Amino acid sequence: MALDAIQKNILHEVADLDGIPQGAYNIRANGTSAGRNTTANIDIVTKEDKPGIDIIIKPGTKGESVHIPVVLTESGLKDMVYNDFYVGEGADVTIVAGCGISNCGDQDSQHDGIHTFHVGKNAKVKYVEKHYGEGDGKGARILNPVTNVYQEEGSYVEMEMVQIKGVDSTVRTNVAELADGATLLIHEALMTHGTQKATSDYKVALNGEGSSADVVSRSVAKDDSEQIFEVAIEGNTACNGHAACDAIIMGNAHVVAIPRLDAKNVDAALIHEAAIGKIAGDQLIKLMSLGLTEEEAEEQIVAGFLR
Amino acid sequence: MALDAIQKNILHEVADLDGIPQGAYNIRANGTSAGRNTTANIDIVTKEDKPGIDIIIKPGTKGESVHIPVVLTESGLKDMVYNDFYVGEGADVTIVAGCGISNCGDQDSQHDGIHTFHVGKNAKVKYVEKHYGEGDGKGARILNPVTNVYQEEGSYVEMEMVQIKGVDSTVRTNVAELADGATLLIHEALMTHGTQKATSDYKVALNGEGSSADVVSRSVAKDDSEQIFEVAIEGNTACNGHAACDAIIMGNAHVVAIPRLDAKNVDAALIHEAAIGKIAGDQLIKLMSLGLTEEEAEEQIVAGFLR
């Protein structure tokens, strides 16, 4: 694979990769493929009608992983891909799909990844998506990821959505539809600083009997940054839905939380909590009494909160 | 006062009145005044530019009450009034403003009351608004109340909003703006049945330092009824906001809860919880083991929940 030092660093940040990953992978750098590997059970096929790939995971595939990180280091590049995951019945896989932008130029760099998951009966998916930006150019680093999750009976999907640093503008759109007995867990960790803006929108439809969803967002908004968190859970049958949003605000940041519970069936049980506030004074004082400066104490509290 | 038996019963339901109330009052029946009393401290003046009254409460008025119930017993009547309350500095008063509709005819009866409160410095207001409908006509009973609350420094407003029975369609719109040190408590109790529809919309702007708001809604949706609960709390300075929405669904009812927390200042602390679900099975079983039928047990749980 032909990746330079910056690209390698970004790969490390978004996918915890310090070399060629195990198993299947497709690495996209500046809009083109920089490496691909398939396995006996996981095929990756380039789409012919639009940019992107199909990732086809055979039924019963166990313990394998797919890495599809994206790296952008050219200023002014606008990249959009459609990646479709077909996870076969009873499979149990990990999918890592980070995106990192290093923009040292004056033009905006943007990556929009549209990920659609067709999760078969009783299949289990762990999905990790990390976003990261760096570079001191004036050009903005923009990421607008979309996930569409279609879960068949008894399937289990865990999604870890992380955006810790350096992304100027994000609109994250997530839609999930769950059949009987399907389970969805979403953990979002988000930090914004400077004048960054981040919007997260989750829509979960609990269509199947006994389906359940748990959407938890933890975010920190620093400086003049703005965050909007929207989560809508629709209970259409006997189901359980829970959403929680905890946000810490610092500086002149602005955070909006708009959950929406929609119970359309007497056996739908839906719960939501949200809390927005600054770091508790006594937590700060405790850490400072142990010898930390105020900044160090804040940093430690924020890191613990987002972990 | 010229009120018939039906009107007297409605007056009892919406204002706990079994006769002429103590203190100031203005009773409106079928679009016209059916009685008015003012006191040395509380004046009631008919508006000249539009239907409605101005209620002027002198600064320092303590322990007095104002009753302004509305009774509609004519089918097909559409009534709209603007009532403005001017509560003087340091006053401490109770305002009761129920509305009842008895519609035995085939045409819709509707009452829209727009209540605006100008609450002076350090004044204290307890406001009770009860809605009630009855009558077996085909005509709908429609109530669209609006409250606008402007609270000056250090004022305290407690609002009890109750709609237990018989209102076919309600859109309740409430806006509040709080200055320094002002406190607002809202308790909503709502029950819908049949094919009733009820929407409650609360918007609270915490503009003043040290202001606080607590909005609590408890509702029960039975049969094929629909409820939408929206509450938006905006924290613009050092303030505390809390909203909670608990709803019980029964039958084929549909409940939507859409809170919105908007923290625009680092010292704004905003919290929300919502829970929608059916009556807990173990609660029912416990009461039934004490000899109650399932309906009696449900009734008792619902009554306790809404109290």
Least CB–CB distance from B273: residue in A267, A269, A272: A272
Counting one residue from A and one from B, how many pairs have CB atoms under 8 Å apart? 114
Name the token pair of A167: 């992304």
| Cβ-Cβ contacts under 8 Å, A235 against chain B | 276
Note whether A278 contacts B266, CB cutoff 8 Å. Answer: yes
The ipTM (two decimal places) reads 0.85
Distance between the two ends of chain A, CA-based, in angstroms?
A: 32
SS3 A282: helix
Note whether A258 contacts B259, CB cutoff 8 Å. Answer: yes
Instruction: Determine, yes or no, domain membership for B14.
Output: yes
Q: What are phi and psi of B223, to 5 degrees?
A: 55, -125
| Cβ-Cβ contacts under 8 Å, B267 against chain A | 278
Instruction: Determine, yes or no, domain membership for A145.
Output: yes
**Quick one: pLDDT at residue A244?**
94
Q: ∠ CA B53-B98-B161 to the nearest 5 degrees?
A: 115
Which of A230, A262, A276 is the best residue to mutate to test the B interface, defined by the most B CB atoms within 10 Å of its own CB?
A276
- Calculate how close chain B gets to A261, using CA atoms only, in Å: 5
CA distance B81 to B114: 6
pLDDT (tens digit per residue) in B181-237: 999 999 999 999 999 999 999 999 999 999 999 999 999 999 999 999 999 999 999
| Cβ-Cβ contacts under 8 Å, B276 against chain A | 235, 261, 263, 268-271
| Cβ-Cβ contacts under 8 Å, A267 against chain B | 278
Instruction: Determine, yes or no, domain membership for B11.
Output: yes
Instruction: Determine, yes or no, domain membership for A262.
Output: yes
Task: State how many domains chain A has.
Answer: 1
Q: What is the mean pLDDT of chain A?
A: 92
pLDDT (tens digit per residue) in A78-91: 888 999 999 999 99
Note whether A272 contacts B259, CB cutoff 8 Å. Answer: yes
Instruction: Determine, yes or no, domain membership for A213.
Output: yes
Instruction: Determine, yes or no, domain membership for B283.
Output: no
CA distance A61 to A92: 6
Nearest CA to B155 among B116, B185, B184?
A: B184
Note whether B249 contacts A262, CB cutoff 8 Å. Answer: no
Note whether B276 contacts A261, CB cutoff 8 Å. Answer: yes
Instruction: Determine, yes or no, domain membership for B18.
Output: yes
Domain range holding A48? Answer: 5-280
**Quick one: pLDDT at residue B306?**
87
Instruction: Determine, yes or no, domain membership for A74.
Output: yes
Element (H, E) at A85: strand A78-87
Note whether A255 contacts B272, CB cutoff 8 Å. Answer: no
Q: What is the mean pLDDT of chain B?
A: 92
pLDDT (tens digit per residue) in B6-53: 888 888 887 777 777 788 999 988 888 888 999 999 999 999 999 999
| Cβ-Cβ contacts under 8 Å, B225 against chain A | none
CA distance A16 to A109: 22
